[in-house]
Chain A
């Protein structure tokens, strides 16, 4: 408890009283004075700091008047100073209101409040000097004791209104203060309110219950320490005023001086006593030299000592301190090594959170609006927008506070750096506080506005210090450049991705189209197959019935009738062949043309095919003769149906194109074999193939002009099919012709089919080979 309570019974004389009073006056005065001064020096422009100074100055004044009143020897002086004390306490109340208001209202100067308060002061100060307020003063051994009158109650009412109003301000008034600021305000409020209530209690209430007046005064004075204590706590714990550095440095300095002084004192004292170096330092001169040496040593050791104490005080006051150089270099390392935007942002945020100890950090990267976004944005809005072509391109944040920033909000940030606590009340500040942003930095390179770095509270509750701001400035410049590079990189990546997507899509489209085409091709193939089948059936009936009439199955017919029917029959036959050829060509084109090999005896097959042509040859007056091999040719593995078609096509051609010969057509059919091949040849004395047409003869739909004249209904598919079938079976075409003299057509088929390679279409076609060979022979 207070020493006064213990010492009162023993210390009963005036001389001792002054000393006793000094015990509580001096520390209170010194601490109040230091607190007010430090706070004021810390930031002279802030209203809070100024009103705090007003409060401490008025408290000092109050302590002074109280002290003078307590220690004055004359009653009239004591009376004046007691009245002055009342006046000063009025000012304390007003200062209290001002301070709380400044804190609550974010440094806004409330002119109406100030005017009101000053008017109230003007009214109440004269009241303090009324005889009905302080009636008289009696001198007691422990100091002056006042007798209060009826008007003193006005001051009780005044005190109570101050309490009520500040209570309302600190706790009930709705503001957008951060939780941190609310805690600060409450500490300040508790400090001052405790002091004031102790004073009010002791001065108005306890005195009525017989409390010695001097004890009440002492309690009131000491209670000022509550203000110092609570405010100090708010300063250190909740960063009310940024005076920690000042306190820390002052303490370090005080400790250093103390140590330094004691060291010096110890050494010089030891020297004077001759305890140390007694043998050496016997003369005055040598002592002087020693003093100089000592001074030099101490001058050099002082920085070390100071650093030592600085470290200790730093550890106490700055648990959250970081090394800016280390922070900048670790950010620099990330920026130099990382090119991916997301990684880069995340790592920088992590470093800031980790080292600068920030609760929440955001990086917002601006980007150009895409065409789609531009169109989607309504015209009137984009018209008054500052940067209608930008959008938020990328945003990363620490996990705790996810903020969806609106571009319109962010565009209010125009300065390179904004610290919410340092701003006057404004749109900017309102926006920052709405998003819980304590520090906002724009990220700009020389060419472009890249984005924003938005930071939340520091974990310690500190405001951003000058060191923080300088560090952040450096980081933001580097970050801007790195983000721009990363963006370019990301955009290239995205472009690649888009390209890949597009290629994928195009491939899918093509695959789909291909599938559809295949399905279509299949349908076409099936259609042709069906159509040819369906065409063949009625053609079979037409040819069949016609031939039966010609055969006389339905009664005898005249020669003329028979000739007429023959025309009909031939036409139907040609149509049948046409359908066959179309079917085969369709199969070739769709890749369904397959050689189905089976063992075939050409000695048997050829005469069969030949016999089918006898009628035609007879009607065309073409003499056909078959030169069978002396020894039957060996059986070979070929496609019988298609080979039959080849035999038929070549012999049929020979019959047709030799018929115009005025001497009568002659067709010689040969079958023979050498060691490796079976050879089939048809030799005619027909129209022949003009030399310049010969290499085109086996092409699809090609017809030599003289052949067109001789047989206008040819399709140009027969030889094409022969070429294809012979080639696919690994054979060779035989072809020689002289226009107007006749032709030799035929083929060689290998006795033993070689590998499938022979069927390779990349090989020179048998026709080309045959033509080439013939030229060599010629």
Chain B
């Protein structure tokens, strides 16, 4: 079912930072059931904290969040010297804003419109991404 070993230990493979509790819970359930270890956050600050703590292979970060946007969080991490060569970023959004898309690309992240995807689609994307990183 998954190329990712189920016993990847307590260390989370994927970090999900999403402020909407419904969507956050949805991804958490889907990814957990798929056997991933995940850490959850709800703000841009959480994103910074979790990335610095776990240095995950993949981070799903929502753009529109209170206090600090996902874009701002990643910018700050870059500025603080975080090494993104081992962490793939996939930005999540629902606003389809061209400026956000450009900013996401400029930061080297992927871009995903939540409304266009089902959790399975997201899971498949994660699998693909992780496989790319592993290979």
Contacts and interface: CB of A to CB of B under 8 A. Distances in A.
B120 A540 contact: no
A207 B103 CA distance: 132
A556 interface: no
Interface string B15-26: 000001011001
Contacts of A612: 116, 121
Given A548-B29, A612-B116, A540 B23 contact: yes
Interface stretch (A95-103, A233-241, A531-539, A705-713): A531-539
A596 interface: yes
Contact of B115 (A529, A545, A576, A598): A576
B95 A533 contact: yes
Contacts, number: 65
A212 interface: no
Interface in B21-37: 22-23, 26, 29-30, 33
A641 to B, nearest CB: 7
* 6 closest A-B pairs by CB: A541-B22, A547-B118, A536-B94, A536-B115, A596-B98, A540-B114
A583 B95 CA distance: 10
Interface of B: 20, 22-23, 26, 29-30, 33, 64, 94-96, 98, 101-102, 105, 114-121
Contacts of A539: 115
13 contacts: A533-B94, A537-B94, A537-B114, A537-B115, A541-B20, A543-B118, A544-B30, A545-B22, A548-B119, A580-B96, A596-B101, A598-B102, A641-B101
A553 B23 contact: no
B116 A576 contact: yes
Interface string A513-555: 0000000000000000100010011111101110110010100
A594 B23 CA distance: 30
A594 B98 contact: yes
Contacts of B26: 541, 544-545, 548
Nearest to B96: A641
Contacts of B23: 537, 540-541, 544
A533 B119 CA distance: 19
Contacts of B114: 536-537, 540
Interface string A574-586: 0010011001000
Contacts of A576: 115-116
Given A553-B29, A596-B102, A544 B94 contact: no
A43 B90 CA distance: 119
Contact of A537 (B20, B117, B121): B20
Interface in A600-649: 612, 641
Contacts of A545: 22, 26
A576 B96 CA distance: 13
A545 B95 CA distance: 20
Contacts of B94: 533, 536-537, 540
Contacts of A579: 115
Contacts of B96: 580, 583, 641
